[in-house]
Structures are given as structure tokens and as C-alpha cells.
Structure 1
Amino acid sequence: MSEVQTVPSGGDGSDGGSDSLDEGSNALPPTLATPTFAGFVTTQFLGAFNDNYFKQLVLLACLNEKAASSTDLQPLAVFAFALPFVLLSGFGGFLSDRFSRQRIIVACKVGEIGVMALSLLVLLIPGLSSRTQLMLLIAVLGFMGAQSALFGPSKYGSLPELFRPEQLLPVNGIVQMTTFLAIIFGMVAAGVTLDYLDRSLWPGSVIAVGIAIAGTLTSLLIRRTRAANPSLSLRPEHLGIPRDIRTLLKNQPPLYSAILIASVFWFIGGITQPAVNTLGREMMGLSETRASVLAASIGVGIASGCIAVGVLGKHAGPTWVMRGAWGMILSLFSISLLASQTYSRPGSAGTDTVHVDHQGAVDDAASGLGVSSSDTTLAEDSDGISTSEIGPSESGARESIVEAIFHAPKIEWALRFCMAMLGFFAGTFVVPLQVYIQQAPSQELKGRVLGTQNLINWIGIVLSAVFLIVYNLTLASLFDAETLSARHHIIFTILAILLLPIAFYYRLPARLDTE
């Protein structure tokens, strides 16, 4: 396969800021210690943080609304966030090829400010019911998805323009690592915000606006690039998969296969976050902070997996994807097994001696004390009689972040470990695929190929929302309301089974030469 092509241009090839233009890989800085690299990594970190922070705020609000209405709106929120990627990723790929990718990045960050300001406006409108407010926030989540759909192809398509071919693997490792660090911090920050602000959402939106402004400023550090195909005209086919991209994928089956397999990663991810939220909040009775820490453990693992691929990838070859698939399967089976043992365990329990039969008494006692059942634990006295005690705080005061992270029962730590291992193997699964997809197409097709990848990825996430709806309806038809939550762990077993064909049969082609 050919080397990645670069777009020749005039200029001195310096990295002094956004006024410089790229002029080919030989003129690119040999080091990553540049304003462009710092600006790029910081911009995508803040963007990923805001996406996951705001999305987790909405998902947790959906679970709180479910307690009042018995309707879980999480799948609708996932669908609203994912649908714009299906509708606009092709157009985002067109913009990425037609205009300077750096300018598209900046424009998208400005758009993010507007979207987050809109969420604040929704929360400040007086007289809205909580359900109406939540539905409007889900609509805003859709606008955030639209902004991200236009942002993605230019973000990833600019990497071969900004960095040398031999830098792409470590750069992708760092980008993926910081992306999932942003996921970690974003999800945890959302839980902390809801816990410490008594589930008030508008201060959280103020924070999101500030993060969007910061990301816009850092995007200005990225070196300006020339348009890859300035004569490209917009045609209806650019809203989907353009004809030349369909031809390319037909002629390069390995590239097509890699794009399809990468979409499985996002399908699994689209299911996993709501599933872990439900596991934490409903099955284990965790607070928003602790449920978010549980979900964020996956991000910790993904960041570690991305580092491992960046450091060791040159010596490991394409087997990373196969190993990652098997690791994800084992992790998902382990999570399902552990989750089946957690039903009605108070999330703040410091002991494993919890009795399901007494959970109602815990809820009643907790209500009388002014704390939630997630802040209480059952223990047996010397006579074997179950008694209620305050969990992390003897006075019933709000649990601190340190307590939420470190004051956990063994089974919660075991679940965090399995979540982290799931993330680690997911990181080793997706980074080699992403590098291959970036390198395989020529420069003038790269943006639309990545737009197509975005489209297929988010079709996977839309399907994950459909899967969640069907799964919830099926579960509700098979089990009564009393035992419904106790069966939620089945979803992790199903995900493991879905990955088996990939682990058995898929092999990523040898990476393009980057030496």
C-alpha cells in the first residue's frame, strides 16, 4: 500500500501558530513540542469532556425522571445525540475536504458555545415541568451531536496534515488517551455536579459554556492548513456516502472491513454507558457521583489501552484488535457475573453482609434520617439481627468525592476493575483500526472517508439506542417489575456474545508503513 499523501503548499512550514500553512511531511516539525500539538490535544480534550459531561448530566437526569414516571428516557437521549451523526457526517466529510480543516475546527468550537448557551437558556425558562425541561435538554443534546458530527472528520482528517507519518501512531495514541481521560473526568464531573448542587442543572450548563469558550481559544493555536480539494462541489450524495468513496471501499475491502469493525466499538459503547448507569443507580443504589465513577472506570482503562498501543504498537502488529476483542469478551462476562450478585446492595456499603429482604427497611430508615439508601449499609450485630447504620458518613452528611471513590465495598471495587479492563481492551481494539483508516485513503479522499466512518460509527450508536429500547421492552415482558432491575446484568452477557465473531474471524491487515 502507498504512503499517506500530503498536500503540497507554499509557506515556510513553521509551527508558529494558525497563520502557517502546511507544505508536506518534510516541512512538518520533527517534534511534537509545538503550539499546534498542544492546541490540538487540548481542543479535542475539552470537546470530548464537554460532550460527555453534558450527556451524562442528561442521562442521569433521565434516571431521576424514571423514578417519578417509570419511563427510562436514556435510549431517547442516546438516539438524539447519535442521529445527527448519521444525517450530517457525510456533509462533515465534504466540509473537511472542501475547506481548511483548521477553520472548520474553529467554526465548530464557536458553534459549541452556542449549543451550551442554549442549554442554559432552557434551564432558566420559568414554569417548565421537569419532564418538559428534560425533553428540551434531549433536543439540545441533539444539537451537540450535530456540532460534533461536523467536527469529527476535520479533527481526524487534519492529523496527517499536521504531523509526520511516523508520528501518527503515537499522536493517535495520545489523542485517544486524552479523549477517554476527558470521558472519565466528564462523567465524574457530571455526577459530582448533580450530587453537590442538589440535582440543579443550570450551574452545570454554566460550566459547559465556560469549557466551550476555552476550547474555542485553544483551537486558534492549531496551524492553518490548505483545503484538500477546494474545487469540490456539494452534491446530494455528499449527505450520505459519495460515489467515489463507495468505489474506494469496494476496491479496498480491508478498509471497508476496518470501518465496519470500528463501528462495533461505538455500538458497544452506546449500550455500555446507559447500562452502567442503570447498574449503578438502580441495581446497586449508588449516588450520581459513585455511578459516574463506575462508568468512568471504563475511560481509565481505555486511556491505558491507548497508551499501551502507542508505546508497543510498532512491535505488536495487527494482533492488537484480536486480543482486544477477546479481552472485551472476558471483561463483559465478568461484569455480568459480578452484577448478578449486586442487586439491592447499598452502594456505599462498607461490608458485603447485605440482605435483600431488608432493603425496604433500609429505604424507610434512610428516609427518616434524611439520607438516601445509597448512603446506608446493613450490618449484623452480634446476635445476627440486621441493623441500619450510616455508611460513609456517621452523621448522614453528604458523601465527599474522596469517600465516593475510595470508600467502597469489595464488589464495587471488583466491578470497577472489570470496567477498567473492558476499557483497556477496548483501547487496544480501536486505536490500530483508527490509524489504519486514517492512512489508507489518499489525501483528497481522506475527509470523506473519515466522514463515512463517522456516519457508520453513529449508525452503530443509533442502533445501540434501538437495541436498548428493544432490550428494555423484552425484559419488561419477561419479568415482573419487582425482579426487572435484578435481571439487568444480562445485557453485558449479550454484548460479549456479539463480539465473539470478531474475535474468531477478523484480522486487521498489516499497518501501512510509517517508518
Structure 2
Amino acid sequence: MLVVNESEAHAGQFSLLRQRRFLPFFLAQFLGAANDNLFKFAFTVLVTYQLQVSWLAPQMAGLVIGALFILPFVLFSAMAGQWADKYDKAFIMRSVKLMEVAIMALAALGFWFSAVPLLLGCVFLMGLHSTFFGPVKYAYLPQHLREHELTGGNGLVEMGTFVAILLGNVVGGLLMGMPEVGGHWVAASCLGVALAGWASARAIPASPSSDPGLRLNWNPVSETWRNLKLAWQYPSVFRSLLGISWMWFFGAVFLAQFPSFARDVLHGNEQVASLLLVVFSVGIAIGSLLCETFSRRHVEIGLVPIGAVGMSVFAFDLYLAASALPPFSGGERFTVSTFVAEHAHWRVMADLALLAFSAGLYSVPMYALIQLRAQPSHRARIIAANNILNALFMIVSSLLAGAMLGAGFSIPEVFGATAVLNVLVVGYVFWLMPEYIVRLVMLFVTRCVYRLRVRGDMHIPTDGAAIVVCNHVSFVDAVILGVISPRPMVFIMDHRIFQNPWLGWFFRLCKAIPIAPQKEDPVAYEQAFVRARQVLVDGDLLCLFPEGGITRDGQMAPFKGGIMKILETHPVPVVPAALHNLWGSFFSRVDGVAMRKPFRRGAFNPVGVVVGEPLPAADVTPEVLQGRVQALLDQPMP
């Protein structure tokens, strides 16, 4: 694996574009996505407007080309996932890009001689090329990026993909529209882009196999089923796969209807259809890029509910805006200049841009979550399962939208129905996986109630069992600590907190472990330790507050010995942490009783967390831990 120095690891997401571990890979995937769309759109224009093919009706051309491109994802994704886990990912990417050069050489002949059967074959082969590149692409990132870089890296990839789709469609249409020589220019461009992609792939650094001993299963049906079962073993990963596949279902409804929406509803020409694609692509690109800013460079799935709500709200408003447009009086269709001159159309474009922006917020954290939590040895196969689900959801999306239109629904009504369906589907996903809502609450508290500052959070391990210990200042300490963790953290908390009407429901949703004093309830006391040990057996993070209660005077109380009881049977690393500037806030006991005076310090008060280096279990005593936490408290607030 590539070694990352500290200055690289702590720079912003755009600094990745200056580093060899990311830039060649980014260029290879960007050029591949651009070439896919340049080729497909130019071919669609050729058979729709320029050639008369008796066995391929113009109105069916887009559907046939799209189906041929998606078919390899269904048939070969399982095999692609196995290869990406078994072999060096850089080698696979170079091989796939060389395959693209050969395909585009055949496509160049097809464009030169207007050979439609040959071009249809190349569509299938380019789908095969993308099928084998997909699992490698998303398995490569966590191998070369750290946890706090994954969101930014995925944001750049998503942004690049949609910009590439946009450029490919625009360039393909412009070149194919050139009289007489359009096909020749498309042929040269496709081959040139493929060669540039192959040259970029040659600079991708080595990415060693994650499971070199894997035995290949050549049966696509059984291997697909096995991949889905692998993903099922990780509930948060599998549900994220379903969430991403739903996003592609949702997006496919809008992308597939842009030409008809522009022509039949907005009464614009083909340039207006291109404008809608530009607006959509720019929106999702901005949303994807801003994920890193909003998440403070962590994998922040609290953004997912925000994105889901935005998708429904703006999709439904798009239905309302399109339904309220004045009837078309006939005559010339809108050009781009006349279209944007109408104020009613600005609402349509704003809805489309904000819908896409929300989809970027929704999808990027989910991709990062899958990469972070999937087992490295199975990561590519799980991503292959995601590609299979994506393809199936997109096929169902096309069939359902087609059935609704055939039943007499208008295009805006299809958009409105999709918005309502989105509420039901994502609501079900969040009900299955309340962690999304938990993280949203944490995000709100640390961005709106407080202004959180963090130092040393890289000391919290991204995998493996560990215990985090911290001073206990307020009722929201768990919320503050939870939001800085790269993965879920299970808290041991005083059982009386669960009786609080403000916070009890939230901590039950977090699956926190209630503990009662041994003298008060010995059964509950022992049960808490049983559950705590199980957290460590599962390889998860456990957090406890060794003081045994929230401070009443702002000073740290002596640490109790409960942690030693856990470490005796499960000797895992212990990570000290210290909370700064929470004493005196609404949630602290500064007045004897907490949560009595709202906004006692106003809003957006700065609070801080300082995390220290992990201690081996053998070096831990309550006194040593208290000294470490006190030393962190003595440091300046971040």
C-alpha cells in the first residue's frame, strides 16, 4: 500500500489532485466516463437523426443502447468483484483501459463506415469495460486514502463522473452534428480519449491484492448470490447498498425523461434538454464536493437524511412548478436564451439543481460508509453486488416509469409520484438503520448548538475493538464524542439518563448500555458489563465515563475501577479523551440542575475535544487514565 505522509493526509480534498495516489486514478475514471457517454450519445444521434435503420426504430434507439450497456453489469459484476479482490487493482485498471483502446478502435471503424451492428457490439463491450472498472474504482480508494479523506475523495470521484457524463454528451452531440465528417471526428475523439485514459492508468500506483488466495467462481448466478450474502453479513453496509441503488432508481427517472420533459412539457428544443443535463450535473457535482466541508472531513452519514429530504422536497416542487407552467401557444420552441428569459422556468431549473445537489449529499457518504466498513478482503465483491443492485433498480425504474406514462400519467406526475415514493423508501431505510438519524442529531448539536473543534481524532481507531474514556461534563458528552468517531461508538451510561424525556429516546436509539450502581441493582450492574464485553468481542468501539457521573462543580472526579473489570477479560487499547468548555452550558449542572435555562450561553458556543494516543491494556490503571485525561484538559482548547 502507498505510504501517505502527514502533510498530504491533512490537506484538503483538492490537494489529492496533486498526488500520484489519486490523480492518475481520477483521470483514468474521468476519461472513461467521458468516453462512455461521448460514444453512446454520438451513436444515439447517428441512428436517431442521420441513418435510417429498418430494424432499429429511432424512438427505440436510446432504449436499446441503454439496455445493451447495462446488461454486462447484471451478467459480469460478480466476476469483476472477484478479480478486483484477487489481483492487483492497478494492474486490472491498466488492463481494462487497454481493453477500452481496442474497443474504441473497433468503434472508430463503425463510425467511419456507419456500421450499426458493429457499434451495438461496442456498446456491449464498453458496458463490460465499465463493469470491470467499477468494483476496482471504489475498492481502490480506501486502500490509498485515510478515513478522513474518503468523503473528499468520493466527492471528487462523483463530481468527476457527472462532469464527464455532461462533457461526453455535449461533445458527442456537437461532433456528430458536423455535416459529413461528424462520424470521423467522433471516431478520432473516442480513440484519443481511450489512449489518454490508458496513459493515465499506467501511472496508477500498485494496489496489492486484498485476497490473493481467492478461488474464482465462474458461475455468475451463484457468485452474485454469494456476493449479496457477503454484503448481508454487514447490516449497515447492505442497507447502504440498498440506499445507493434507490438513488440510482430515483435519478434514472429524471435523467431518462429529460429529452421528453424538455420537448413536451417545457416546449424547448434539444438545446434546452442539454441545459437540463448541465443544471443536473452541476448540482450533483457541487453537492458531492461540499460533502467534505459539511462533514468536517469524516465519513458523516448524518448528511444522508438531509439529502433524502431535499430529494423529495425539490422533486415534488418540480412537479408543482412544471404543472403550473402556462400552456404552449404553438410556434417556435424555446431556445436556451428564450427559455431562461421566462421567470417560471427559473423555478424549474432551481428545483432540478437542488434536487441533484441533495442527491450528492445523499450518495457520497453512503459510498464512503461501504468502503470504510466492508471487510478489505471482500470489499470489491460487495461493491460488485452494489453494481448489480444498481443495474436492477435502474431497469425497474425504466419499466415503472414507462408503465406510468403508458397508463396516462404526465411526466410531471411521474416526478411527483417518485418524490412521494422516495419518502416511503428512505423512511423505511432509516427505520431499519436509525444510525442515520442518530448521526443527524449529533451533526445538528455540534454544528448549530455548539461549534465543535477537534484535535487528535486520528487516534480513534477505524477498526478493531477499543475503549474510549473521557471526563463527564454534560448530558450531551456522548453526542459530542459520537460525532468525532469514524464509526459507531457504544456508550455505557448512568441508567437515570434514560429516564430523561429530552435525551432518553435518543440514547435508546443509540443502543447505549444503561448501568446502575452495584448496591442499587446488582443484576443491571453485571448485565452492563456482559453487554460491554460483547461490544469488544464484535470488534467495536466502547466508550465509558470512569467518573461514574456528570460533574457537579466542573472539576473531574476520581476515576473508578470499572474499566479494569472489562480489561481483565478483554485487554484492548484504551484511548483517553477530554471535553473542553462544556461546563456552564445548558446541558451541564452548573446551576445544580441541567437543562433549566435555554440559551444560557447563547448559540454556537465553541466546545472542544482533544484525543490522546491509545494506551495498551497492560499500562492502564484508573490513576494513569485520570492523569492522561487531565493532561489533555490542561492543553489549550483546539
TM bucket by the smaller chain?
0.7 to 0.9
Instruction: Find the counterpart in structure 1 of residue 357 from structure 2.
Output: 424
Per the TM alignment, residue 498 of structure 1 is displaced from its structure 2 partner at its CA by 2.0
Name the aligned partner's letter for residue 505 of structure 1: Y
Per the TM alignment, residue 61 of structure 1 is displaced from its structure 2 partner at its CA by 5.3
Contact 1:228/1:444 (8 A) holds in 2: yes
Per the TM alignment, residue 62 of structure 1 is displaced from its structure 2 partner at its CA by 6.4
Per the TM alignment, residue 125 of structure 1 is displaced from its structure 2 partner at its CA by 2.3
Per the TM alignment, residue 305 of structure 1 is displaced from its structure 2 partner at its CA by 0.6
Name the aligned partner's letter for residue 232 of structure 2: K
Mapped to 1, the partners of 2:415 and 2:90 lie a distance apart of: 40
Instruction: Find the counterpart in structure 2 of residue 99 from structure 1.
Output: 87
Return closer, same or farther for 1:275/1:136 CA change in 2, 3 Å cut-off: farther
| Worse-superposed segment, 150-159 or 272-281 | 272-281
Instruction: Find the counterpart in structure 1 of residue 63 from structure 2.
Output: 75
Greater CA radius of gyration, 1 or 2? 2
1:318 alignment partner, SS class: coil
Which of 333, 339, 344 is the aligned partner of 2:316? 333
Which of 185, 195, 220 is the aligned partner of 1:213? 195
Return closer, same or farther for 1:263/1:447 CA change in 2, 3 Å cut-off: same
Point out 4+ residue stretches in structure 1 off by more than 6 angstroms.
Answer: 24-28, 65-68
Contact 2:314/2:352 (8 A) holds in 1: yes
2:22 alignment partner, SS class: helix
Return closer, same or farther for 1:281/1:140 CA change in 2, 3 Å cut-off: farther
Alignment pair present for 1:183 and 2:183: no
Mapped to 2, the partners of 1:445 and 1:316 lie a distance apart of: 20
1:444 alignment partner, SS class: coil
Per the TM alignment, residue 238 of structure 1 is displaced from its structure 2 partner at its CA by 5.6
Instruction: Find the counterpart in structure 1 of residue 262 from structure 2.
Output: 280
Contact 1:89/1:150 (8 A) holds in 2: yes
Per-residue CA deviations over 1:254-292 (Å, capped at 9, x if unaligned) read: 211110111011122223222012212444453433311
Which of 2, 11, 25 is the aligned partner of 1:40? 25
Alignment pair present for 1:497 and 2:420: yes
Instruction: Find the counterpart in structure 1 of residue 218 from structure 2.
Output: 236
- Counting only pairs closer than 5 Å after superposition, residues 340-489 of structure 1 correspond to structure 2 as 340-341=323-324, 345=328, 355=329, 359=330, 362=331, 373-374=332-333, 408-475=341-408, 487-489=410-412
Per-residue CA deviations over 1:377-407 (Å, capped at 9, x if unaligned) read: 6xxxxxxxxxxxxxx7xxxxxxxxxx66996
Instruction: Find the counterpart in structure 2 of residue 4 from structure 1.
Output: none
Contact 1:62/1:74 (8 A) holds in 2: no
Please, what is the CA RMSD of the aligned residues?
Answer: 3.3
Contact 1:322/1:502 (8 A) holds in 2: no
Alignment pair present for 1:321 and 2:304: yes
Which ranges of structure 1 fall in alignment gaps of 5 or more residues? 1-21, 346-354, 363-372, 378-391, 393-402, 479-486
Contact 1:60/1:277 (8 A) holds in 2: no
Q: Which has the higher strand share?
A: 2
**What's the TM-score once normalised by structure 2's chain length?**
0.61
1:149 alignment partner, SS class: helix
Mapped to 2, the partners of 1:210 and 1:73 lie a distance apart of: 25
Contact 2:42/2:176 (8 A) holds in 1: yes
Mapped to 2, the partners of 1:297 and 1:312 lie a distance apart of: 22
Per-residue CA deviations over 1:403-423 (Å, capped at 9, x if unaligned) read: 669965334433222221111
Name the aligned partner's letter for residue 104 of structure 1: I
Instruction: Find the counterpart in structure 2 of residue 55 from structure 1.
Output: 40
Q: Which has the higher helix share?
A: 1
Return closer, same or farther for 1:136/1:274 CA change in 2, 3 Å cut-off: farther
**Percent identity (aligned):** 26
Per the TM alignment, residue 431 of structure 1 is displaced from its structure 2 partner at its CA by 0.5
Return closer, same or farther for 1:463/1:58 CA change in 2, 3 Å cut-off: farther
Return closer, same or farther for 1:136/1:463 CA change in 2, 3 Å cut-off: farther
Mapped to 1, the partners of 2:338 and 2:127 lie a distance apart of: 30
Name the aligned partner's letter for residue 174 of structure 1: L
Contact 2:299/2:369 (8 A) holds in 1: no
Contact 2:94/2:202 (8 A) holds in 1: yes
Contact 2:96/2:133 (8 A) holds in 1: yes
Which ranges of structure 2 fall in alignment gaps of 5 or more residues? 440-461, 463-484, 488-638
Mapped to 2, the partners of 1:213 and 1:406 lie a distance apart of: 39
Name the aligned partner's letter for residue 267 of structure 1: F
